[in-house]
């Protein structure tokens, strides 16, 4: 990595840390331009083609016209619509993808600014989300990133019983895996856990008996191409994913300790089951589904342990070192 890029990465983290840490709104508004400017300068100094998913989109993502409505849905039309809209002014392929990455960067930046201004989410929780997902969502994932953002908005207000945003129904059009947490919209139902149990049984039957028969179906070709790509990646980094599994399981155990009976709620149970299902299908798939559980966990407010909370707020500054590593890990540098 170039020294300038490392410096800018550190500046982005520090500016975001203080944007979260400062409690007075006027001081936050003073710090906000520092975060915006440093993040824009960093984005302009990192070629979009260096991120690890770029050429997968550039060469491998199918942007051909769809044959029917089912095929259209499987194409995850969010990205398809953007590309189709931009190709009509005769912009070249390279410019279109740079433009789409720019839109994605703005969307993810707005999300993290919204997160920074939330008063009932601890500073250390904001910094964990920022450290783990800023580069992954903002620089790499063109489809998953926006769907995670909408899910975060949905889960924040749902947990607090303020509202349930219907925007979550847009997420499968961004990434098809977002179908999995849609059931949380109906989590108020008294039969929710019974329905979830039936869903798990049917999912198991689908994986064991039906999947081999539909694998050859042309309409599912896109999905299985992705699954093959996940398997290839798995061979290289499988140890990491098993360690990550241990981390996610530890988070669930900690939730049992800190939240106690509150942990037995639709949001944590469902998202943890989604992660487990993904992991047992393929650890890389599980990793890509894990933000649903981690975001849900961090958005829960723990009333007790205020001294621990203050200490974690201060020590979360040292996440800056891991933040630099996430930048390196998400790019070919």
- The neighbour count for residue 287, using CB atoms within 10 Å, is 21
Same domain, 19 and 116: yes
Same domain, 34 and 6: yes
d(CA 248, CA 242): 10
Same domain, 191 and 137: no
d(CA 127, CA 260): 24
Same domain, 213 and 93: no
Note whether residue 170 is domain-resident. no
As to burial, measured by CB atoms within 10 angstroms (0-12 exposed, 13-18 middle, 19+ buried), residue 63 is: middle
Average of pLDDT values for 57-81?
Answer: 68
Note whether residue 1 is domain-resident. yes
Note whether residue 153 is domain-resident. no
Q: How many CA atoms lie within 13 A of 71 on its CB side?
A: 11
27: phi then psi, degrees, rounded to nearest 5: -70, -35
Q: Which range of residues forms the domain containing residue 189?
A: 178-302
Same domain, 6 and 124: yes
**Confidence tier at 213 by pLDDT (50, 70, 90):** very low
d(CA 1, CA 55): 20
| Residue 232: pLDDT over 80 | no
**Confidence tier at 64 by pLDDT (50, 70, 90):** low
d(CA 97, CA 56): 12
| Residue 65: pLDDT over 70 | no
- Looking at residue 212, its pLDDT comes to 55
- Looking at residue 91, its pLDDT comes to 80
Note whether residue 259 is domain-resident. yes
Note whether residue 240 is domain-resident. yes
Report pLDDT digits (tens) over 141-190.
Answer: 888 899 999 999 999 999 888 888 888 988 888 887 788 888 888 888 77
The number of distinct structural domains making up the chain is 2
Note whether residue 155 is domain-resident. no
DSSP 51: B
Same domain, 100 and 15: yes
What does pLDDT average to over the chain?
Answer: 83
Note whether residue 147 is domain-resident. no
- Looking at residue 299, its pLDDT comes to 92
- Looking at residue 286, its pLDDT comes to 84
Q: How many CA atoms lie within 13 A of 161 on its CB side?
A: 4
Residue 267's nearest CA partner among 164, 198, 166 is 164
Same domain, 121 and 234: no
d(CA 246, CA 254): 12
Same domain, 212 and 272: yes
Same domain, 310 and 297: no
**Confidence tier at 234 by pLDDT (50, 70, 90):** very low
Average of pLDDT values for 2-8?
Answer: 91
Report pLDDT digits (tens) over 117-130.
Answer: 999 999 999 999 99
Q: How many CA atoms lie within 13 A of 325 on its CB side?
A: 6
- Looking at residue 174, its pLDDT comes to 86
d(CA 81, CA 99): 13
Read off the pTM.
0.87
Same domain, 126 and 224: no
Are 165 and 157 in contact, with CB atoms under 8 Å apart?
Answer: yes
Same domain, 209 and 124: no
**Confidence tier at 238 by pLDDT (50, 70, 90):** low
Average of pLDDT values for 91-100?
Answer: 87
Same domain, 192 and 289: yes
Note whether residue 255 is domain-resident. yes
Report pLDDT digits (tens) over 106-116.
Answer: 999 999 999 99
């Amino acid at each position: 990595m170039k020294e300038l890029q490392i410096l800018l990465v550190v500046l982005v983290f520090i500016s975001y840390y203080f944007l979260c840490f400062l409690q007075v709104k006027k001081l936050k508004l003073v710090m906000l331009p520092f975060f915006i400017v440093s993040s824009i300068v960093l984005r302009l100094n990192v070629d979009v083609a260096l991120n690890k998913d770029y050429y997968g989109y550039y060469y491998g993502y199918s942007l051909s016209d769809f044959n029917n409505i089912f095929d259209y849905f499987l194409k995850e039309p969010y990205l398809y619509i953007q590309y189709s809209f931009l190709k009509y002014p005769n912009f070249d392929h390279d410019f279109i993808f740079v433009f789409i990455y720019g839109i994605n960067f703005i969307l993810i930046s707005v999300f993290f600014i919204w997160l920074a201004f939330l008063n009932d989410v601890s500073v250390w929780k904001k910094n964990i989300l920022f450290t783990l997902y800023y580069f992954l969502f903002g620089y790499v994932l063109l489809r998953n990133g926006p769907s995670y953002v909408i899910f975060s908005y949905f889960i924040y207000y749902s947990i607090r019983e303020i509202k349930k945003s219907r925007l979550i129904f847009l997420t499968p059009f961004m990434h098809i895996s977002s179908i999995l947490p849609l059931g949380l919209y109906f989590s108020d139902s008294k039969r929710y856990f019974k329905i979830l149990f039936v869903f798990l049984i049917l999912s198991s039957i689908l994986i064991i008996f039906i999947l081999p028969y539909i694998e050859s179906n042309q309409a599912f070709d896109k999905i299985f191409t992705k699954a093959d790509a996940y398997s290839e990646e798995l061979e290289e980094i499988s140890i990491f994913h098993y360690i990550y599994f241990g981390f996610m399981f530890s988070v669930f155990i900690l939730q049992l300790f800190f939240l106690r009976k509150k942990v037995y709620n639709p949001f944590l149970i469902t998202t943890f089951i989604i992660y487990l299902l993904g992991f047992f299908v393929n650890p890389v798939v599980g990793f890509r589904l894990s933000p649903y559980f981690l975001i849900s966990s961090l958005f829960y407010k723990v009333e007790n342990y205020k001294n621990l909370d203050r200490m974690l707020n201060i020590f979360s500054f040292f996440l800056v070192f891991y933040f630099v590593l996430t930048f390196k890990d998400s790019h070919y540098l």
